[in-house]
Amino acid sequence: MISRLLIANRGEIAVRIARACRELGIEVVAACSTPDRHSAVVEMADEAVHIGPPAPRHSYLHVPNLIEAALRTGADAVHPGYGFLSEDPDFAEICEMEGLTFVGPPPEVMQQMGNKATARRLMADAGLPLLPGVVEPVRTAEEGRAIADEIGYPVIIKAAAGGGGRGMTVVRAPAEFADAFTATRAVARAVFRDPAVYVERYLTRARHVEVQVLCDGHGAGIHLGERDCSLQRRHQKLLEEGPAGHLTPRQRAELGALAVRGALSVGFTGAGTVEFLVDDAGAYFMEMNARIQVEHPVTEVLTGVDLVREQLLVAGGRRLQLRQEDVVTRGAAIECRINAEDPTRGFAPAPGHLDVLRPPGGPWTRFDTGYRQGDDVSPHYDSLLGKLVVWAPDRDQAIRRMDRALAELRVEGPGLRTTTALQRALLRHPDVRADCHDIEFLDRCLPDLLVEATALSATPTATLPAPRGPLQLVPAPSDQDWPGPLAHAPLTEGTPP
C-alpha cells in the first residue's frame, strides 16, 4: 500500500488526487513551481517542494527535479495526473528504477499506447475494429496519397506520437494531400519530436465515444460505462456527457467488452479509456489514453465509483474489488470544462487575477478546481479553470441543471474571459438537446453559437424555456439495426475474474 505520494502536477487534478489520498490515509507531497507556491494543493499537502520556475520544461516537465523531490521527502509513489508527464514512459521507468511506485500502467504499455500507429496494430490483433487505413507509419506523401486514394476520401493524417488534439489534419480531396502531409509531419516533429504519421479514413457525422476501464495487476479488468465527447473544437473537448444516449444496450455492452479486451491484451493496469468513433455502420477503435482523463468525474457521478481512489489502490497492489456486475450507471451527467479562454478571439488564452470566483450550488452540482478567489490564473499553463459537473435523473434535466449552474458560476477579473456563455449556447442548441450532433458540430456551427453566447452574456439569468410537451429526441437505433463493431470480432468470453 502507498503511504506517501508526490503529486507531479498542479491545478484541479492535483487537488483531486490530494483529496483521494486524504481519504485513504496517504500522506501528500505537493510539487509546485514558483507561481504555484501558494496554491490550494500546497495548503492541503503534508509537505510541498519547489521544483522550479514557471516554465513547464523547468518544473512540471523536469524529471530530475521531480524525482529528487520525491526521494528527498520520503515519498514512495508518484501520481502524474493528466497532461505534463502522465503518458511519458521514460518518466514511469525512471520512477520504477528509483524504487517509486508510478500510479499508472507499466512503461512498456505507455510506450505502445502512446504511439497511435502501434496502438492500432495491437488493438487490431486483439480483435478491435479499425477504420480503413494503415497500422504502420507512412514515409512519403506519395505513399500516403496512394493509401488515401485506395481507402477513399476524406482521410485524416495523424501524428503517431500525437495527443491532446494536435498533429491531425483532415484531407477532403486528393489535391490537398501533399501539403497536408508535409504540414502534419512538421507539427509532429516540432511538438512530439517524432515526425511519423499514419493515414486512416475520416468519418463525417460520427460520434466520439470513450469507454472507461479499470484494470489491476492481477489480470482482472472492468469497464464503467462510456462518455460521449463529440462536442469538441479542433479535436479539443469542451463538454462531455454520459451515458451516450445514442447507443443501444447491445452497442453499450459490446463497446465495453471490446474496451476491456483491448486493455487486458496489452497488460494495461490502472484507470484509462479506450476511445471509439461511432456511426450508423459500426464502431471503430481510435486510441487508448493510458491515464486518468480530465472528464473522469462524469463516470464517478454516474456510477458512484471514485476512480482516483481505485487508481491508487490498484497501484498499491490491491486486486480489484469491483466486479462487472457491480457497476451500475444511473441517470445522466454532463461536464463542462471552464477554460480561461476568449471564444471570440479563436479561443485565445485569457488569464488574469481572480477577483471573483464563486462556484454554483444546488443539488448534484460539483465544481472541481485548483483555484481560489484571489489567485492568479497563470499564462504558463493549461487554461482550465475548473470542471463543472452535474447529475440528474435524465439528460434533459441534466441539460437544464447545467444551464442553471453555468449561469450561476461567477468568474471575474481584469482580462479574464471564459467559455461559459458558449457552453450555455451549445446546450441550448436544438441539435444538442435532441442528441443528434456529431464531432464536427461545434466547428460547423461556431459562428451562430458565438452570436447566441453574446446574447446570453448580456442576459446571464435567462433560463431555458419550459418544454411544450415531451422533448423530441432522435431515437437511438434498435439493437436489430446495429451491425455490430465488426463480424470478425465476436464477443464470446467474459471479463476475467
Taking 90 as the threshold, does the pLDDT of residue 378 lie above it? yes
* Calpha distance 427→294 (Å, rounded): 20
Which residue, 194, 189, 188, 261, is CA-closest to 223?
261
Active site residues: 291
pLDDT in tens, 183-206: 999 999 998 989 999 999 999 899
Q: How far is CA 108 from CA 117, 153, 317, in A?
A: 15, 34, 18
Taking 60 as the threshold, does the pLDDT of residue 472 lie above it? no
- What share of the chain in percent tops pLDDT 90? 88
pLDDT in tens, 297-314: 999 999 999 999 999 999
Taking 80 as the threshold, does the pLDDT of residue 286 lie above it? yes
Region of residue 11 (left: phi > 0; alpha: psi -120 to 50; beta: else): left
Q: Which domains are assigned to the chain?
A: 4-103 (3.40.50.20), 132-201 (3.30.1490.20), 207-458 (3.30.470.20)
Which residue, 16, 29, 124, is CA-closest to 74?
29
pLDDT in tens, 396-425: 999 999 999 999 999 999 999 999 999 999
Please tell me the number of Cα atoms within 13 Å of 359 on its side-chain side. 19
* Calpha distance 240→335 (Å, rounded): 5
Three-state DSSP string of the chain: CCCEEEECCCHHHHHHHHHHHHHHCCEEEEEEEHHHCCCHHHHHCCEEEEEECCCHHHCCCCHHHHHHHHHHCCCCEEECCCCCCCCCHHHHHHHHHCCCEECCCCHHHHHHHHCHHHHHHHHHHCCCCECCECCCCECCHHHHHHHHHHHCCCEEEEEEEEECCEEEEEECCHHHHHHHHHHHHHHHHHHHCCCCEEEEECCCCCEEEEEEEEECCCCCEEEEEEEEEEEEECCEEEEEEECCCCCCHHHHHHHHHHHHHHHHHCCCCEEEEEEEEEECCEEEEEEEECCCCCCHHHHHHHHCCCHHHHHHHHHCCCCCCCCHHHCCCCCEEEEEEEECEEHHHCCEECCCECCEEECCCCCCEEEEECCCCCCECCCCCCCEEEEEEEEECCHHHHHHHHHHHHHHCEEECCCCCCCHHHHHHHHHCHHHHCCCCCCCHHHHHHHHHHHHHHHHHHCCCCCCCCCCCCCCCCCCCCHHHCCCCCCCCCCCCCCCC
Q: How far is CA 495 from CA 90, 218, 258, 260, 264, in A?
A: 31, 13, 10, 7, 10
* Calpha distance 424→125 (Å, rounded): 42
Cβ atoms of 121 and 266 within 8 Å: the answer is: no
- What share of the chain in percent tops pLDDT 70? 94
The torsion angle over the Cα atoms of residues 481, 242, 293 and 438, rounded to 10 degrees, is 60
pLDDT in tens, 207-217: 999 999 999 99
Cβ atoms of 387 and 297 within 8 Å: the answer is: yes
Note the pLDDT of residue 468: 52
Mean pLDDT of the chain: 93
Note the pLDDT of residue 478: 54
> What residues are paired with 210 via a beta bridge?
227, 275
Collect all residues with Cβ–Cβ distance below 8 Å to 150 and sequence separation of at least 6.
none
Taking 60 as the threshold, does the pLDDT of residue 43 lie above it? yes
* Calpha distance 133→136 (Å, rounded): 9
Q: For the residues 78-85, what does the mean pLDDT come to?
A: 98
Which residue, 3, 130, 12, is CA-closest to 377?
12
pLDDT in tens, 233-247: 988 899 999 999 999
pLDDT in tens, 106-135: 999 999 999 999 999 999 999 999 999 988
> What residues are paired with 274 via a beta bridge?
211, 288
The alpha carbon of 236 is separated from its chain's Cα centroid by a whole number of angstroms, namely 9
The C-alpha cell at 403 is 444551464
Taking 60 as the threshold, does the pLDDT of residue 497 lie above it? no
Predicted confidence band at 488 (pLDDT cuts at 50, 70, 90)? very low
Within 10 angstroms of residue 316's Cβ, the number of other Cβ atoms is 18
Note the pLDDT of residue 38: 96
Residue with cell 482482472: 220
> What residues are paired with 163 via a beta bridge?
166
